[in-house]
Amino acid sequence: MLKKKITGLYFSGTCPKGYKKYRAVCYKLFNERKSFSEAAKTCQAGGGTLAMPRDDRINAFLLTLMNEEDISHGIWFGLHDRVQEGYWKWIDGTPLNTWTAGYRDWAPGQPNSERGDDDCAAYSSDLWYDLNCRYKESFICEIVLPDTSGVKQFQIQPL
């Protein structure tokens, strides 16, 4: 026998606590240092991925998040060339060049794979750099909000 009234919503269209919404995506800067893989796992555990700044507007929004914090080291986002050197892919597997005419915001001379194993992208000084994926950096996660058209609220009450 049901003793409590249960109220819920299939999807509310709001971001989880600590996330900020831009367009239909929620973003959160984690000011804790993890490797690229550890950061990606943290994002996945929360239902998202590392952030993917696929155009200049998203990139600008992420920069505002970063500028709200006092961070003096790199900040991971979801771009890497771990599979094939020089072939940059978003963490969802799509090639960098397939979005918005291949939008990118690399610092001058980047990516350079200076040490031969700089395969993950991070913000530093508001621009993109390639870094060793094992470095411990802060990171930004994103959660894409599903389409809410047709979503209905529901209640279950005792009989």
In the beta sheet, which residues pair with residue 141? 28, 50
pLDDT given for residue 151 in this prediction = 55
Question: Are 150 and 87 contacting, i.e. CB atoms less than 8 angstroms apart?
Answer: no
What percent of the chain stands above pLDDT 90? Answer: 69
pLDDT band of 147, cuts 50, 70, 90: confident
pLDDT tens, position by position, 50-71? 999 999 999 999 999 999 998 8
pLDDT given for residue 4 in this prediction = 41
**Which domains does the chain carry?**
20-144 (3.10.100.10)
- Where are the extended beta strands (E) located within the chain? 6-9, 20-22, 25-34, 49-50, 75-80, 89-90, 120-124, 127-131, 137-144, 153-156
pLDDT given for residue 10 in this prediction = 32
pLDDT tens, position by position, 26-50? 999 999 999 999 999 999 999 999 9
